């Protein structure tokens, strides 16, 4: 499922003293099956942008095309169906959990899709397994008895159970400890590989984004600063720093090493790639 954003602008409280232009003429295409990272400071427009992708917010001007169709020209029933296809996991999604058991919570979305009980059961089992949880061990537990990382996974499973073609995650690791963060990111990466769905990941972490995505969308004050591969974005250190962002620490390290080893690559942003490059250069 491809997504095209055309001349998209959004102004909050338009015409009032509190008017705020959150998005300004955004144009970009998200290709089917791609893994996109969105990064920028609070207030840069990240969350406003993703809420337009399944029609939760209506643009002030411009539009969003999904598989070539303008989503804001569709009927209400079609828009509801679109939201099944473009799943949005909000920041702190565990706040969306509400059912008595994990199984009931994950089944809520598929049940609203009008599926049979057999289909619902199959989807619930599959989605819980996909997020790395043991269905039999967890299905009858209250979601609120789980750890923060487990609750986060159950919330993601609830969206996956609707089998979306596009999965949008807004800061899915916010508030988790390092182990929980790594587990969630590993599951997201695995989901993308297994299902070949389009994934859009919003994050404050350049390190997390850099090691996972195909392209990075950098936003600042409602505008697109960069939309390119991690290699190309992370070479624009001066521009990123001018808007208060930074490249991964390992990239700064590689720049320093280049002063001593001119042949070393500096377009590196993961520890694994840095290790290989350093060993290659040092060993000659």
Q: What pLDDT digit, counting tens, does each position of 5-21 carry?
A: 999 999 999 999 999 99
Percent of the chain with pLDDT over 70: 100
pLDDT at 79: 81
Percent of the chain with pLDDT over 90: 62
Asked if residue 4 lies in contact with residue 64, where contact means CB atoms within 8 angstroms, the answer is yes
Q: Is position 284 within any domain?
A: no
pLDDT at 76: 75
pLDDT at 80: 80
Condensed to tens digits (0 to 9), the pLDDT of residues 202-253 reads: 998 888 888 899 999 999 999 999 999 998 999 899 999 999 998 899 999 9
Q: Is position 182 within any domain?
A: yes
Q: Is position 252 within any domain?
A: no
Q: Is position 275 within any domain?
A: no
Q: Is position 279 within any domain?
A: no
pLDDT at 199: 96
pLDDT at 130: 87
Q: Is position 180 within any domain?
A: yes
Q: Is position 128 within any domain?
A: yes
- d(CA 209, CA 39) in angstroms, rounded, equals 8
- d(CA 85, CA 74) in angstroms, rounded, equals 14
Asked if residue 82 lies in contact with residue 55, where contact means CB atoms within 8 angstroms, the answer is yes
We report the CATH number of the domain holding residue 209 as 3.40.50.300
Say how many domains are in the chain.
Answer: 1
Q: Spell out, as residue ranges, where the chain has pLDDT lower than 50.
A: none
pLDDT at 149: 86
- Burial of 156 (C-beta count, 10 Å sphere; 0-12/13-18/19+): buried
pLDDT at 245: 92
pLDDT at 117: 95
Q: Is position 216 within any domain?
A: yes
pLDDT at 229: 94
- d(CA 281, CA 276) in angstroms, rounded, equals 9
Q: Which domain holds residue 107?
A: 3-230
Token pair of 46, please? 């990240």
């Amino acid at each position: 499922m491809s997504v095209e954003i055309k001349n998209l602008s959004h102004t909050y409280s338009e015409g009032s003293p509190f008017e705020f232009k959150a998005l300004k003429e955004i144009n970009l295409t998200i290709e089917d099956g791609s893994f996109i990272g969105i990064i920028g400071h609070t207030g840069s427009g990240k969350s406003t942008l993703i809420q337009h992708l399944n029609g939760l917010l209506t643009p002030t001007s411009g539009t969003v095309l999904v598989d070539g169709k303008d989503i804001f020209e569709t009927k209400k029933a079609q828009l509801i169906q679109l939201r099944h296809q473009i799943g949005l996991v909000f920041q702190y999604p565990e706040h969306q959990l509400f059912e008595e058991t994990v199984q009931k919570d994950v089944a809520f979305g598929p049940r609203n899709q009008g599926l049979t009980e057999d289909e619902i059961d199959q989807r619930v089992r599959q989605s819980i397994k996909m997020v790395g949880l043991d269905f039999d061990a967890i299905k009858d537990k209250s979601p609120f008895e789980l750890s923060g990382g487990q609750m986060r996974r159950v919330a993601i499973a609830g969206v996956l159970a609707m089998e979306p073609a596009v999965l949008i995650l807004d800061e899915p690791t916010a508030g988790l400890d390092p182990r929980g963060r790594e587990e969630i990111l590993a599951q997201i990466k695995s989901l993308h590989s297994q299902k070949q769905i389009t994934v859009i990941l919003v994050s404050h972490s350049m390190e997390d984004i850099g090691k996972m995505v195909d392209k990075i969308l950098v936003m600042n004050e409602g505008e697109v600063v960069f939309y390119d591969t991690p290699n190309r974005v992370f070479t624009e250190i001066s521009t990123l720093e001018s808007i208060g962002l930074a490249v991964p620490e390992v990239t700064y390290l590689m720049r320093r090493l280049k002063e001593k080893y001119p042949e070393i690559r500096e377009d590196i942003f993961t520890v694994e790639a840095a290790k290989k490059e350093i060993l290659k250069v040092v060993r000659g």
